[in-house]
Amino acid sequence: TLNGGKIWITNGGIADVFTVFAKTPMAAGGAQQDKISAFLVERSFKGFSSGKPEEKLGIHGSNTTALNFDNIAVPVENMLGQMGKGFKIAMEILNTGRLGLASGCVGGCKALLTKAAEHAKNRKQFGKAIGQFEMIQEKIARMAADTYAADSMVYLTTALADRKDIDYSLESAACKVFVSDALWRVVNEAMQIAGGIGYSREYPYEQAMRDARINLIFEGTNEILRAFLALAGMEGPGEYLKKIGKALRDPIKGFGLLTGYAASKVKDTVAHDHLTGVHPKLHDAVERFNESAKGLHQATEQALIKHGKGIILKQFDQRRLADVVIDTYAMVAVIARVDTLLKKNHAGVEQDLLLANTFVEDAWRRARRNLRQMDKNLDGERKKIAEMIYDLNGYRWSTNV
Ligand SMILES: Cc1cc2nc3c(=O)[nH]c(=O)nc-3n(C[C@H](O)[C@H](O)[C@H](O)COP(=O)(O)OP(=O)(O)OC[C@H]3O[C@@H](n4cnc5c(N)ncnc54)[C@H](O)[C@@H]3O)c2cc1C
């Protein structure tokens, strides 16, 4: 019998079949323990109901409702997989879901870049096209390099998914975070380049902005995914990740496994296969990648020595480590792509090379800054400020000049 509910369900008002993850009581060593199992629940089942459609900021084409389960008798044959093994199924669905989301975001980046470039070329101010001003050129160049990296990450990760035999949960999480953040930057800059018309409902930018925003929130918020990336998916699927989870619970015993993990995951599963014998034109980019991967390895090791099990709560460090993981993976993705093109003597590869080298240089600088801030930072001050603001219930300095 299924009881409970879930808010925020996409297609909740129109779907006929739902994948539901619910706690199921199971015997474990004499005691009872709740474990997650997966079920197929049908709209026609007695006790099923869905709420009214949510009024959302964006993605109005998508129906979102709450679901209620009131004493639903779910037939045994509607259980997906084995009893108590639902968490793994949920994680696998999320891996593909995050990739799908990232692919959609890449499409958004490409469309917005095209629109922004068109506007930059056509809109004239101060006697010339606004696209000739360097502040606009900088925006277009950053949007293009971000889009190129996002595109490359999605291609690489979908190729990993197609292999069927490897756990790509970290790669798909890295993709989701990078690409949804990239789309948000791109939509922001496209709106800025559009100027006043960007703010009008008659042009596509405001809808793009409303629609893009959700990608940082659903399929795992970007904060939760950064924690997951930094802690290497403690509770995630796959035997290796389970070992990491155990190692994190007992950091001394699992030390060797943990210290190299974040770097080796990127370096071995992806880079080892693809980065050997890279084309000489990518020499500098490969050096940047190696330096970042090495820095990540050392920083992970030092964070574990410093915090031990306490790393689980050290989110300032987790955020930085996750961003280095993401940037390092993005570097691999663009390098692998351009390397292939160079080796095939692909027409126009110099354009790819320009985008790739520019992106890698920027990503390396970000990674270097994040790694330096592992030791020297304002974490203590920021923590104090946040706590002070909570105590004061907000901003209190308007009138005390
Ligand atoms: C339009 C829409 C469609 C959706 N569709 C579905 C669906 O089909 N199926 C489904 O199951 N769900 C769906 N969701 C739910 C969605 O996945 C969640 O809203 C999302 O995961 C965030 O959870 P929450 O809303 O409870 O936010 P909260 O967990 O309350 O988070 C609030 C903020 O706190 C941060 N935060 C929370 N915990 C931590 C932590 N430990 N460390 C640091 N920061 C933290 C979050 O990152 C976020 O910024 C949908 C949501 C929306 C808005």
Protein residue with least CA distance to atom 52, ligand 1: 8
Of 234 and 263, which is predicted with more confidence?
Answer: 263
Distance CA 371, CA 361 (A): 15
Please give the structure tokens belonging to residue 245. 């989870």
Q: For 287-294, what is the mean pLDDT?
A: 91
User: Residue with the nearest Cα to atom 17 of ligand 1?
Assistant: 218
- Whether pLDDT at 244 is above 90: no
Residue 242 burial by CB count (10 A; 0-12/13-18/19+): exposed, middle or buried?
A: middle
φ, ψ (nearest 5 deg) of residue 368:
-60, -40
Asked about 219 being catalytic, the answer comes back as: yes
pLDDT at 256 > cutoff 70: no
Q: How far is CA 379 from CA 118, 164, 375, in A?
A: 42, 41, 10
Distance 218 CA to ligand 1 centre (A): 6
Identify the CATH homologous superfamily for domain 2-84. Answer: Butyryl-CoA Dehydrogenase, subunit A, domain 2 (2.40.110.10)
Are 87-220 and 228-379 in the same CATH fold? yes
Per residue in 111-125, pLDDT (tens digit) is 999 999 999 999 999
DSSP state string for 204-271: THHHHHHHHHGGGTSSS-HHHHHHHHHTT-TT-SSHHHHHHHHHHHSTTTTHHHHHTHHHHHHIIIII
Q: Whose CA is nearest to atom 39 of ligand 1?
A: 224
Domain 228-379 superfamily per CATH = Butyryl-CoA Dehydrogenase, subunit A, domain 3 (1.20.140.10)
> Which of 153, 135, 113 minimizes the C-alpha distance to 328?
153
Residues 363-390: tens digit of each pLDDT = 999 999 999 999 999 999 999 999 999 9
Length of the chain: 401
Q: Which fold has domain 87-220?
A: Butyryl-CoA Dehydrogenase, subunit A; domain 3 (1.20.140)
Domain-wise residue ranges, the chain: 2-84, 87-220, 228-379
Q: Which residues line ligand 1 (CB under 6 A)?
A: 8-10, 56, 64, 214, 217-218, 221, 223-224, 227
Query: What's the N-to-C CA distance of the chain in angstroms?
Result: 63
Nearest CA to ligand 1 atom 6: 9
- pLDDT higher for 249 or 110? 110
Angle between helices 222-230 and 315-343 (to 10 degrees): 80
* ipTM of the prediction: 0.98
Which range (19-23, 290-294, 350-354, 388-392) has the least confidence? 290-294
**Residue 378 CA, ligand 1 centroid: distance in Å:** 28
User: Which of 170, 147, 151, 150 is CA-nearest to residue 160?
Assistant: 170
Ligand 1 atom closest to Cα of residue 12:
8
Gap from CA of 219 to ligand 1 centroid (Å): 8
Instruction: Give the mean pLDDT of 272-293.
Output: 82
Report the pLDDT value the prediction gives residue 154, as an integer from 0 to 100: 97
Of the residues 219, 239, 291, 361, which is catalytic? 219
Owner of token pair 């629940």? 41
The tens digit of pLDDT for each residue in 330-362 reads: 999 999 999 999 999 999 999 999 999 999 999
> What is the reported pLDDT for 269?
43
Joined tokens for residue 96: 């593909």
